[in-house]
Amino acid sequence: MTIDKNAQLFERARQVIPGGVNSPVRAFNAVGGTPPFIARAQGAYLWDANGKQYVDYIGSWGPMILGHGQADVVQAVQAALLDGFSFGAPTEREVALSEAILRLIPSMEMVRLVSSGTEAGMSAIRLARGYTGRNKLIKFNGCYHGHADALLVKAGSGLATFGASSSAGVPAEVVQDTVVLEYNDIAQLEEAFAKYEGQIACVMMEPIAGNMNFVRATPEFTLRIRQLCDAHGALMIYDEVMTGFRVALGGAQSIYAQQLPGFQPDITVMGKVIGGGMPMAAFGARREIMEKLSPLGPVYQAGTLSGNPIATACGLKTLELISQPGFHERLHAQTGKLMAGIKAEADAAGIPFCVDHQGGLFGFFLLPELPSNYDAVMKSDKPLFNKFFHGMLARGHYFAPALYEAGFVSSAHTDADITSTIEAAREVFKTL
């Protein structure tokens, strides 16, 4: 009798970890079944506890842009390990990583390194509030900026209304200054600024929302946010935790700047790729904003492991390698092959299917046309997605276990990997 080690591990995990996982989406609640417990990874592949191999389209939810275990990155990390794991003191390497980030993101003149996207996001909001002296925050339904209390908010029932907490343990008074609007809805945005004149500290957005799968902000929507923030003295926060260095070397803001000359956000939040798979994130802005941070200014923020010497080594080498000429163009083309191929198979099977991608980030929907906001995303056929997901997983192709999560391609994915995934999709679509 074959023993399913994944099932055994999941049962063990549920006895000691809530839900058996340390981040909810890993539990497979959205799709059902037992999650594979990963034993190792290399290049574009994962192997689970049973020894089954998968082509990996999660990439640790974005950081593994070079694939797993890239030799130069491993060597840099090993060398750093010999110098020490953590010092709680400044290092040259954190200065070098900060300099590298600032060279690539012109909107930022100073940056603060932290350990997670949640930490970076909540710190950016605190900084915006401290800089403006205002309290209200605008965010958009379907955008995820981490699990800080003020951000765990679901949309209200009317235009520009306050949201309600979407998590137990978050008091109503904590989210009373969070305004939740629909993504890509200019009318709601204008109404909110009119209603809360002089009260809005910041507007926080994902330029490409990756937590309702893959939904782009329209250039018109992006421009209107920029205009309204300028007119009303609010700050525009760009959450590039997912898109930063993955969709383009200069992040999503460099893509929008091509369509909107001169465009820049006020504060940028980054993570994932800048750590190369290690716990690392950052937030940055122009100098006058960042100088409000302690120890220079009154906005307090601190972290024992911020700028960790192992994580900075990993991030530095990753940024060096993805800065090579043509890297993102090749990555974009490879991701495009995957999306075009899967869509062609869905079309041939008569299944409504639409796709989008940028750099190494992609999304697909079981819908006839691309959605522009959260409500439209939720019209996707969830039972059909779950069948597709499990069909692909059984054939060794690991996509995100939820219809509202984007996917990731790395430079380690070969033409053969892409072809095998498309062939597997053909087989699965025949069964749907």
Annotated active-site positions, please? 144, 239, 272
C-alpha dist (Å) from residue 90 to 25, 53, 95, 316: 35, 41, 8, 16
Q: What is the DSSP string of 258-288?
A: HHSTT---SEEEEEGGGGBTBS-EEEEE-HH
Other Cβ atoms within 10 Å of 430 Cβ, number: 11
Beta strand 267-271 with 235-240: parallel, antiparallel or unpaired?
parallel
Alpha-carbon gap, residue 430 to 363, rounded angstroms: 21
Residue from 117, 122, 127 nearest 139 by CA = 122
Alpha-carbon gap, residue 213 to 183, rounded angstroms: 13
In degrees and rounded to multiples of 5, residue 119 shows phi and psi of -60, -40
Alpha-carbon gap, residue 312 to 289, rounded angstroms: 24
202 - beta bridge partners? 137, 235
Six token digits for residue 229? 């923030």
Contacts of range 7-16, beta carbons closer than 8 Å, 24 or more positions apart: 7/34, 8/49, 9/37, 9/49, 10/34, 10/35, 10/37
Query: What end-to-end distance do the CA atoms of the chain give, in Å?
Result: 30
In degrees and rounded to multiples of 5, residue 293 shows phi and psi of -80, 145
Asked if residues 291 and 110 have their Cβ atoms less than 8 Å apart, the reply is: yes
Q: Which residues contact 87 (CB under 8 A, 6 or more apart)?
A: 309
Residue 48 host element (H or E): strand 45-48
Q: What is the DSSP string of 158-214?
A: STTPBPEESSTT--GGGSTTEEEEETT-HHHHHHHHHHTTTTEEEEEE-SEE-SSSS
User: Residue 348 class from Cβ within 10 Å (0-12 exposed, 13-18 middle, 19+ buried)?
Assistant: exposed
Other Cβ atoms within 10 Å of 305 Cβ, number: 17
Alpha-carbon gap, residue 329 to 320, rounded angstroms: 16
